[in-house]
Amino acid sequence: MAGRLAVDSAERQVEVPDQIERVIAAGPPASVLMTILAPEKLIGWNRKPPPQELPYLPAMVRSLPEIGRLTGRGNTANLEVVMAAKPDLIVDFGSISDTYISLADRVQSQTAIPYLLIDGRFAHMQAAVRLLGGILGVTQRADQLAGRMEDILHDVDRVTASIPREARPRVYLARGTRGLETGNRGSINTEIIERVGAINVVEGGLPGGGLYNVSLEQVVSWKPDTIVTVDPAVAEHIRSDPSWSQVDAVRRGRVFLSPRLPYGWIDAPPSLNRLIGVQWLARLLFPGRFPGDMREVARDFYRQFYQVDLSASELDTLLEGAQQRR
């Protein structure tokens, strides 16, 4: 098969086919990237989507088989299964640290399948989309998406640039079964909080970011005015447990559930799905400063990025718990 050299985000030179039609995503962030950028080329899931996620995904990917994941916690893909699927390419999207470079080199050596690493940092997502779009031969789609991404971020910066730090919302991301796992400043799991111009209240923790456990006393001392979670059970626990009433955000009824169909808007996984989270958080934290009702914003985003037209009931399900309570 004819081939060409592609240079990935880790500056690895990888020989790829001239025509790439069959792609496996190494992990969930890459799966989101492929679902949005070139769903017609994706040939399998890391985890088969449950029924409630299917209406929010492109029709062409809903019935794909489960292949497993090559990266992250709980990697489940068997290399024999990967090879049997006969992909033209494996794509990973996220960290380009030595660990992931080593994994890519090893899998490529063992399977003879080209394996690309694409930088998944939020600040580099437009470049990542254009890089992979060029390699896959979907440049027009990549340019359209990257242009819309730039518009979204420009709209946020236009509003937040003049807001002094002392006037910015103070946000806590609640994760884990009791809401006491969170992301340090700089964590990939919380970076869109800072990207929309808010303050991640978490201090200390792991150098360079990451998830870690905290105490309720720490949360109280950080004085968040807004709490966001990705888990309905956590949202209910925080709203109903008397011990959480010490937190100002809880007393004010500012506990919000991030939509998560088909993927989380804040995290889970940290990929292009967070762009709609930027639009949601910005409107939640800076009310009245952005045009457009959130339902219409979501409808437009899903139409362009996921290539689905959502019904009124599907929008209701998507946004449940995400709006300010009256």
180-195 tens-digit pLDDT: 999 988 888 888 999 9
Which amino acid is it at 190?
Answer: T
**Count H helices, E strands: the chain?**
12, 11
Q: Are residues 100 and 38 in the same domain?
A: yes
Q: What is the pLDDT at residue 238? A: 98
Tell me the C-alpha distance between 69 and 215, whole Å.
33
| Residue ranges of E strands in 81-124 | 89-94, 115-119
Residue 59 within any structural domain of the chain = yes
CA atoms within 13 A on the CB side of 250: 22
Tell me the C-alpha distance between 117 and 44, whole Å.
18
Residue 91 within any structural domain of the chain = yes
Which amino acid is it at 202?
Answer: V
Q: What is the pLDDT at residue 188? A: 82
Q: Are residues 65 and 41 in the same domain?
A: yes
Q: pLDDT tens digit string along 95-145?
A: 899 999 999 999 999 999 999 999 998 999 999 999 999 999 999 999 999
Q: Are residues 183 and 203 in the same domain?
A: yes
Q: Are residues 122 and 12 in the same domain?
A: yes
Predicted TM-score (pTM) of this structure: 0.93
Q: Are residues 146 and 167 in the same domain?
A: no
What mean pLDDT comes out for the span 139-153?
Answer: 98
Q: Are residues 142 and 195 in the same domain?
A: no
CA atoms within 13 A on the CB side of 88: 16
Residue 283 within any structural domain of the chain = yes
Tell me the C-alpha distance between 4 and 151, whole Å.
33
Q: Are residues 143 and 209 in the same domain?
A: no
CATH number of the domain to which 197 belongs = 3.40.50.1980
**Residue 190, H or E segment:** none
- The pLDDT confidence band at residue 20, using thresholds 50, 70 and 90, is very high
Q: Are residues 105 and 185 in the same domain?
A: no
Q: pLDDT tens digit string along 198-210?
A: 999 998 776 666 7
Give the 3-state secondary structure of residue 117.
strand
What mean pLDDT comes out for the span 78-98?
Answer: 95
CB-based contacts of 76-82 (< 8 A; 24+ apart in sequence): 76/46, 77/46, 79/107, 79/110, 79/111, 82/24, 82/107, 82/111, 82/113
Tokens 């447990």: give the residue: 241
Question: Which of 89, 118, 153 marks a domain boundary?
Answer: 153
pLDDT of 246 over the 60 cut: yes
pLDDT of 74 over the 60 cut: yes
Residue 18 within any structural domain of the chain = yes
Question: Which of 153, 173, 191 marks a domain boundary?
Answer: 153
**Cα 126 to the chain's mean position, in Å?**
14
Q: pLDDT tens digit string along 30-67?
A: 999 999 999 999 999 999 999 999 999 999 999 999 99
Q: Give the angle subtended at the CA of 228 by the CAs of 227 and 230, to the nearest 5°.
A: 150
- The pLDDT confidence band at residue 75, using thresholds 50, 70 and 90, is low
Residue 326 within any structural domain of the chain = no
Q: What is the pLDDT at residue 296? A: 96
Residue 175 within any structural domain of the chain = yes
Residue 94 within any structural domain of the chain = yes
Q: What is the pLDDT at residue 299? A: 98
Q: Are residues 287 and 186 in the same domain?
A: yes
Asked if 189 and 183 count as a contact pair (C-beta separation under 8 A), the reply is yes
Give the 3-state secondary structure of residue 42.
strand
Tokens 């033209």: give the residue: 88
- Tally of domains within the chain: 2
**Residue 35, H or E segment:** helix 28-37
Tokens 């025509």: give the residue: 19
Residue 158 within any structural domain of the chain = no
Helix then strand then coil, % of the chain, to nearest 5: 45, 15, 40
**Residue 13, H or E segment:** strand 13-17
Q: Are residues 250 and 305 in the same domain?
A: yes
Q: Which residues contact 291 (CB under 8 A, 6 or more apart)?
A: none
pLDDT of 222 over the 60 cut: yes
The distance in angstroms from the start CA to the end CA of the chain is 61
Q: Are residues 19 and 138 in the same domain?
A: yes
Q: Which domain holds residue 31?
A: 3-153
Q: What is the pLDDT at residue 326? A: 35
Tokens 């960290």: give the residue: 95
Q: Are residues 275 and 190 in the same domain?
A: yes
Question: Which of 153, 176, 208 marks a domain boundary?
Answer: 153
